[in-house]
Structure 1
Amino acid sequence: MNKVFRQRVIIIFLILLILAAAIFSLGLGSSSVSFDRIVPTILGSGTLKEEMVLFSLRLPRVLLTIFAGMALALSGAILQSITRNDLADPGIIGINAGAGIGISIFFLYFPIKAETFIYALPIVAFISAIFIAFLIYIFSYTKGMGIQPIKLVLVGVGFSMACSGGMVVVISSAEDEKVNFISKWLAGSIWGTDWPFIVALLPWLIILIPFTLYKAGKLDLLAFSEPVAVGVGVQVEKERIVLLISAVALAAAAVSVTGGIAFIGLMAPHIAKSLVGPRNHLFIPIAILIGGLLLLIADTLGRNLLDSEDISAGIITALIGAPYFIFLLLRKK
């Protein structure tokens, strides 16, 4: 089967899967709305209670998890190409933790109005994460050889632990309510479950998805060795830095409203590559959709597995992603 045709078939199938998973998620929970009432309610024929449950509680959360999963998957795809490292993921190599420490400091020490806080979060997360990302980049870079894949993971894990430790120090003297918020963020709890959070996240996707697809050819070349990329006229350092900034922006925007969720950016690109191959313009659209689907399923499971309390989506993704990461690590030896 032609790979372009195959890609289109898979994209249609994934869109249908996301729609089915979204409807399933909308119908589950303590204040359930029967499945046969979901579509009529969305179309404006629901009762006041049904409209409140769907439009104020469920639908924003479902859309947010889909969009955040898409952003994390695209971030992971970019990182894997520019570092030539199949183990790269914004959660594993410290970018999420870098965003987290910035959010923690901002949340604890820069109190601003709630309506401004929501839109400032992705920017604060980006500034903090880009600083950590460039430190990781510098420590992982070897002159004449470029980024060393295993070294990048080790340095990233080290920075991630340092940032997580920094967050513990920062919150050690904070009020209990604020400590609870940071703790939930660290666990990957979907907390930004209202429409303004979607408005804060969506522009980053609208800008950076087309930009990354435009750069797909450059990503293909960067995935080769540095001499090959330079030999065909690619300005390696310039392209790598621009794309690194894009990957950090996507991850920071996502985790600023979902918490520290890892492994989506690792798993989604790998699954997509196994379906259509390693060409970026083919697998990136599929990886984006898989990322949205994975996080939606993780959050739906986390909300409904236990009757007494929710399990953070970050814990569900870690339970699936950690064994997968170990498998990839062993395979690379």
Structure 2
Amino acid sequence: MRREEAGAAAPTLAPERAIAARDFAKFQALIHREAGIWLAPEKQMLLVGRLGRRVRELGLGSFDAYYQRVEADPDERVRMLDHITTNETHFFREPRHFELLEEQVFPRWIAEAARGARPRRARVWSAACSTGEEPYSLAMALLRAFPPGSGWELEILATDLSTRVLERARAAVWPLEKSREIPVDHLKAYMWKGTGTQEGLMKAGPELRALVRFARLNLVDEVDASTGRFDLIFCRNVLIYFDAPTKQRVVARLLRHLATDGQLFLGHAESLSGMGLPVRSEVPTVYSHAARGDAGARSSP
């Protein structure tokens, strides 16, 4: 920690005059352009709350000065987006999704593999992984259904816009109270309880960590074709932050990476109804390609 020199006061921003309307409009446009996130006018205080501390840390006296820094410095632009993004998440969030996997999707894969209709391979994309609870929940579900020695090749790609949360996700360490979100059998099988200096923490075991690969990815950007196709894509509680045109583009992009018979999982408050996309709803918030044919690669790496 750094101690401020005597007599050197950090710049302060008066809360009621912290950001001018014109400066908010500039950040609004920049954030939408860079991340697809649309901050409505009533989100002005949210922006002030999330960026104000960073403005003071840099010794800047106004949001206009910070905007100039962000425009000129790509690294600072990434930090700014880190502060803007919302990263609330839980283990096994929206349990019905995991019930669908365990009761219908995984048994179907096993049956198809047994008759030679699919390879013993499963690829999953957690497209807004935050601090890792979602991809590690998926890893636990996959390992329970396809344990080591079963002959299945498993892979989870976990991506997020925020470098800050990706660092935490890679560390795979959480407060022990998060263990209440995990089914007891999964907790005992796949999580380590901290002792000594790590008391009060838990960490994902090596089997889980070996399954998940993390990368920074902006959903509004084109995804490299070499990323391949996925049997499952989880993009939950992200589309609610996009305006309609951005949402349309992002979902169309996700669908290009969804295997012919794959499923796209959205958050409980999200829907593709009325968007004119070539999808059908299997159950609420779970979608698949509207036309299922033999064409196209399945889970291509």
Q: TM-score of the superposition, structure 1-length normalised?
A: 0.27
Structure (1/2) with the larger strand percentage: 2
Structure (1/2) with the larger helix percentage: 1
Which structure's relative contact order is higher, taking Cα pairs within 8 Å and 6+ residues apart? 1
Q: Larger Cα Rg: Structure 1 or Structure 2? A: 2
